[in-house]
Amino acid sequence: MAFPKKKLQGLVAATITPMTENGFKKDWHQLFLNASVTCSQIKQKTCDCMNRQDLLPVTEEINFSVIGQYVDYLVKEQGVKNIFVNGTTGEGLSLSVSERRQVAEEWVTKGKDKLDQVIIHVGALSLKESQELAQHAAEIGADGIAVIAPFFLKPWTKDILINFLKEVAAAAPALPFYYYHIPALTGVKIRAEELLDGILDKIPTFQGLKFSDTDLLDFGQCVDQNRQQQFAFLFGVDEQLLSALVMGATGAVGSTYNYLGKKTNQMLEAFEQKDFSLALNYQFCIQRFINFVVKLGFGVSQTKAIMTLVSGIPMGPPRLPLQKASREFTDSAEAKLKSLDFLSFTDLKDGNLEAGS
Ligand SMILES: CC(=O)N[C@@H]([C@@H](O)[C@H](O)[C@H](O)CO)[C@@H](O)CC(=O)C(=O)O
């Protein structure tokens, strides 16, 4: 494959992994069994459980059945045609390798002929797992792979990090490779600007940076020092996207594009038309919402609840150690979305009221 492949630009939704309630139920099942004291009691209770649908030990925790509907929602309702799968929002690091493969496959299958690009995050603590996932992404026809820095036994220098990334990229030599810079979560503080210096010599498939940090000096220098390249510079802090566009961002990956994609696309359009005051109005409006939810406590669980509410597609609970968003959170977020005109009563669809319940 010749590089660069089609350039990744515009909005990229960091997809949520829809889950069933089974993960939570299984915890209760386990607690129930732990409370038993003798083998015969355990046997009896297990038999009882086998006869109770709600306590059955179920293996399927991912709700694959809604992914097709989710693709259509992103494309038709939000105008978002690129996705980033199994990242932070998708709880990729909380899934098993087998689940990650199945999730990736489902998005690629359901996105065929509907989505422009499907990027799979394949970062893991184990190089072997990362390579397996990279190879798998290539086999299923994904459009690119992204990798975060390993965050337990960490690379301490640029060269070590590059060597790790290079090994993963080499497992999928025909796929565009993106580095996912998210230092607040990985604890790996190697500056992106430093990492990009000479990166093509080491990773010929390198095609871009997903920059989830607020250091606009670092981000700006990544753009400035690589003007000769065709890299994609994807910004990952949704509330600051306009500033990054000014710095040269070519696109954005984020959680809020799942449900605020349409609004953010209007901001991109205003920016494109050089109507900066309109673009700023949109950014401030988006900021008002994010600022509000951040003060309540905002993360992946809350994103799941908001998306369920706005789209009507059940995203289910998060996986432990994350906890479900509270009903109070969802109610407040709903009121705020309505007050900002991001959501009207007619937008609410059947099924979305279970959000955060
Ligand atoms: C830390 C975090 O989750 N950041 C989000 C943002 O979209 C974030 O939710 C948003 O800017 C609100 O703060 C994305 O950068 C994450 C992301 O792209 C991913 O899920 O991989």
Active-site option among 180, 257, 259, 282: 180
Cβ(183) – ligand 1 distance below 6 Å: no
Element (H, E) at 283: helix 276-296
Mean pLDDT of the chain: 89
What average pLDDT does this structure show over 113-130? 98
pLDDT at 295: 98
Residue 184, helix vs strand vs coil = helix
pLDDT at 347: 60
Q: Which residues contact 289 (CB under 8 A, 6 or more apart)?
A: 260, 336, 337, 340, 342
Distance 254 CA to ligand 1 centre (A): 5
Q: Could you report the per-residue pLDDT of 295-345, keeping only the tens digit for each?
A: 999 999 999 999 999 999 999 999 999 999 999 999 999 999 999 988 865
pLDDT at 147: 98
Of ligand 1's listed atoms, the one at least distance from the Cα of 253 is: 18
Q: Which residues contact 273 (CB under 8 A, 6 or more apart)?
A: none
Active-site option among 110, 210, 324, 336: 210
- Confidence (pTM): 0.89
Residue 288 pLDDT > 80? yes
Q: Which residues contact 195 (CB under 8 A, 6 or more apart)?
A: 158, 161, 162, 179, 181
pLDDT band at 26 (very low <50, low <70, confident <90, very high): low
